[in-house]
Structure 1
Amino acid sequence: MTFKPALVVVDVQEDFCPPNGSLAVQGGRDIVPTVNELLSLPFPVKIATKDFHPQDHISFASNHPPPNNKPFESMITITNPLNLEETQETRLWPDHCVQGTKGSELLPELDIGKFQHIVEKGQDRRVEMYSAFADPFTNPNISRSNLAQILRDASVTDVYIAGLAADYCVKFTALDARKEGFNTWVVGEATKPVDASALEDVYKEYSKVGVTLIGKEDEAIQKVKAYS
């Protein structure tokens, strides 16, 4: 297939950024100039994703009884509602990106007008969904977005990923993009992690499956600049 790149900007939302985000990633707002630089390139497909949770979402610590309901600390086991044999361990978080709240909005300093699509995720209260493609259950999936469909309908070959957070939603979106069969590139300077010490393991996972970490001057970006 002829090279056709897409840019996917993951969850650059108020709740993931200082100064007021309930789940603010340190330096989260600082990536915006780099993301806007990427948005100015001739990617034929540009997509923003948003965490977009109902108030009773399973990942919110506030929806669980004490003592195992400490945001950032407590872990819970989620069972696939359609297959009780399949379970996932997940961390609990403060309430964040609740539908209809200021915290769920994309940052106003983003060049929002350049996105052709906004993909919302995490809407099923029963499952965590870090990846912008689907929840982590596979047998079967409970919640799938239309992201893979948008990319396939546009005959995209290569997915370039930026956004928040590098060790959660960016990571799982990149791993799933690769699983869906796309060449996958993560633009390092256009991401920030919740926990910087986790990045080494994230990058090991990338190299295992063939996701490539790049810089904004990388050859893979030059290829986009030359796209017409």
Structure 2
Amino acid sequence: MTRALLIIDLQPDFCEGGALPVTGGNAVAAAIASDVAERRQSYSAIVTTQDWHIDPGSHFSASPDFVDSWPVHCVAGTDGAALHPLIREIPVDARFAKGRYTAAYSGFEARELDPSAPFGDENGMLLAPWLAARGITAVDIVGLAADHCVRATALDAAAEGLATTVISPLTAAVSPGMLPEVHDELRASGVTVLSLG
């Protein structure tokens, strides 16, 4: 199998001190950086996804319900939308951005970021064809948040026919109490949920 690592939404706004923090986000960033340093040769490609909101409509709300609407976060071009500093140090093959003008949870809704393209450009390649063009048949998924964007990305990866593994200790959840249910849903869709150690 040709395997890629998908690092999902490891951004300052989703870590402690950010606009929409996930408890444990900074620790997850450190653990991923350490894991990649040890296992880089295991992957044919490493990619990141980022929430990259320009005008996502009702996804942002002054009175969020934390299901379909959220406080303002990951505004494109801001420090909160950048990659976490520890993740920026990882040599990656591509960066993908999602949610420019709408809510987007799955990395498979993301398009490749081209630093030379105009701000807001949506012409980058989608993640699925990018992986297919490189012969990727398996993905390991890590990042934030386990019960939202990691979950959605894993479900879509499995639906794309990729052998999909979520490395649970390299994720953190908005609602940790929901993880058993999320993991059951992932397993029922053919996703392997891996615990390290």
Q: Aligning the two structures, in what range does the TM-score lie when normalised by the shorter sequence?
A: 0.7 to 0.9
Q: Structure 2 vs 1, CA of residues 98 and 167 (structure 1 numbering), >3 Å: closer, same or farther?
A: same
Instruction: State the distance in 1 between where 2:169 and 2:192 align.
Output: 13
**Alignment equivalent of 1:16, drawn from 11, 14, 17:** 14
Task: Tell me if the contact between 2:19 and 2:72 (Cα under 8 Å) persists in the aligned partners.
Answer: yes
- CA positional deviation for 1:157: 1.1
SS in 2 for 1:93: coil
Q: Which runs of 5+ in 2 are unaligned?
A: 111-123
Larger Cα-atom Rg: 1
Task: Tell me if the contact between 1:36 and 1:111 (Cα under 8 Å) persists in the aligned partners.
Answer: no
1:187 is the counterpart of 2:132: no
SS in 2 for 1:58: helix
1:116 is the counterpart of 2:96: no
TM-score for both structures, normalised by structure 2:
0.86
Indicate the larger mover: 196-205 or 173-182. 196-205
Q: Structure 2 vs 1, CA of residues 145 and 201 (structure 1 numbering), >3 Å: closer, same or farther?
A: farther
Task: Tell me if the contact between 2:33 and 2:90 (Cα under 8 Å) persists in the aligned partners.
Answer: no
- CA positional deviation for 1:111: 4.9
SS in 2 for 1:161: strand
Q: Pairwise mapping of residues 162-173 of structure 1 onto structure 2 (< 5 A)?
A: 162-173=142-153
Instruction: State the distance in 2 between where 1:116 and 1:160 align.
Output: 15
TM-score for both structures, normalised by structure 1:
0.75
Q: Which runs of 5+ in 1 are unaligned?
A: 63-69, 75-89, 136-143, 218-228
1:94 is the counterpart of 2:71: yes
1:155 is the counterpart of 2:135: yes
Deviations along 1:79-104, one digit per CA (max 9) or x if unpaired, are xxxxxxxxxxx521000000111110
**Alignment equivalent of 1:198, drawn from 178, 182, 186:** 178
- CA positional deviation for 1:5: 0.7
- CA positional deviation for 1:145: 6.0
Instruction: State the distance in 2 between where 1:25 and 1:36 align.
Output: 18
1:35 is the counterpart of 2:10: no
Indicate the larger mover: 178-187 or 206-215. 206-215
Instruction: State the distance in 1 between where 2:74 and 2:27 align.
Output: 19
Instruction: State the distance in 2 between where 1:92 and 1:26 align.
Output: 19
Q: Structure 2 vs 1, CA of residues 38 and 152 (structure 1 numbering), >3 Å: closer, same or farther?
A: farther
The share of aligned pairs that are identical, in percent, is: 34
Counterpart code for 2:126: N
| Counterpart residue number, 2:5 | 7
| Counterpart residue number, 1:66 | none
| Counterpart residue number, 1:175 | 155
SS in 2 for 1:114: coil
Task: Tell me if the contact between 1:39 and 1:46 (Cα under 8 Å) persists in the aligned partners.
Answer: no
Q: Structure 2 vs 1, CA of residues 214 and 56 (structure 1 numbering), >3 Å: closer, same or farther?
A: closer
Q: CA RMSD in A?
A: 1.9
Q: Structure 2 vs 1, CA of residues 8 and 56 (structure 1 numbering), >3 Å: closer, same or farther?
A: closer
More helix by share: 2
SS in 2 for 1:7: strand
1:214 is the counterpart of 2:197: no
SS in 1 for 2:132: helix
- CA positional deviation for 1:128: 1.8
